[in-house]
């Protein structure tokens, strides 16, 4: 998997509930590498498989402390205060939503070698993991917006998608 592109709003894969991987093989390690490269190239801090068109439970994240790669990540527990922060998304260009999330999570998953790991994440990494795990469950940051704002943002995204596909709207 050399050249991967980021799927944008409107692509059906972004609403799929992803399939767990049976084991972390060389194929999954290659996907992790390609996803990380794409994430860094686009100046993101997280990326999930559906965002690159794959129906697998794989995520990558780097909130400033180094690359985290997880297969089949599951949030076991959420703690801390719930805090609002503007979140953007590589699949929703130009859109941000104020999302309320807990400041600490305990996540279980498989590492690059296929070993089960437990990770305690706080602050920005906790937020990124929650965001990327949402993607694996077909949830977008739009879903956290109040109804009227969500409708406005969806309309703006649909116009952007049409223009990018060569259909200019005047």
Domains and CATH numbers, the chain: 12-164 (3.90.45.10)
Between CA 33 and CA 49 the distance in angstroms is 12
How confident is the model at residue 28, as a pLDDT?
Answer: 98
Contact indicator for 76, 106 with CB cutoff of 8 Å: yes
Q: Is the pTM of this model over 0.85?
A: yes
In the annotation, is 74 catalytic? no
Residue in 22, 79, 108, 132 annotated catalytic: 132
pLDDT in tens, 100-125: 999 999 999 999 999 999 999 999 99
Exposure of 119 in the CB half-sphere (CA atoms within 13 A): 23
């Amino acid at each position: 998997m050399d050249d991967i592109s980021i799927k944008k709003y409107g692509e059906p894969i972004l609403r799929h509930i992803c399939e767990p991987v049976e084991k972390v093989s060389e194929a999954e390690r290659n996907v992790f590498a390609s996803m990380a490269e794409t994430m860094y190239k686009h100046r993101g801090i997280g990326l999930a498989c559906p965002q690159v068109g794959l129906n697998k439970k794989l995520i990558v994240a780097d909130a400033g402390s180094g690359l985290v790669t997880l297969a089949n990540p599951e949030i076991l527990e959420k703690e801390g205060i719930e805090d609002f922060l503007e979140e953007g998304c590589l699949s929703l260009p130009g859109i941000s939503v104020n999302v309320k999330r807990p400041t600490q999570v305990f996540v279980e998953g498989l590492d690059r070698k296929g070993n089960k790991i437990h990770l305690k994440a706080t602050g920005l990494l906790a937020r990124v993991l929650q965001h990327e795990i949402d993607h694996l469950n077909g949830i977008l940051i739009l879903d956290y917006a109040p109804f009227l704002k969500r409708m406005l943002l969806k309309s703006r995204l649909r116009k952007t998608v049409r223009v990018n596909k060569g259909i200019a709207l005047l």
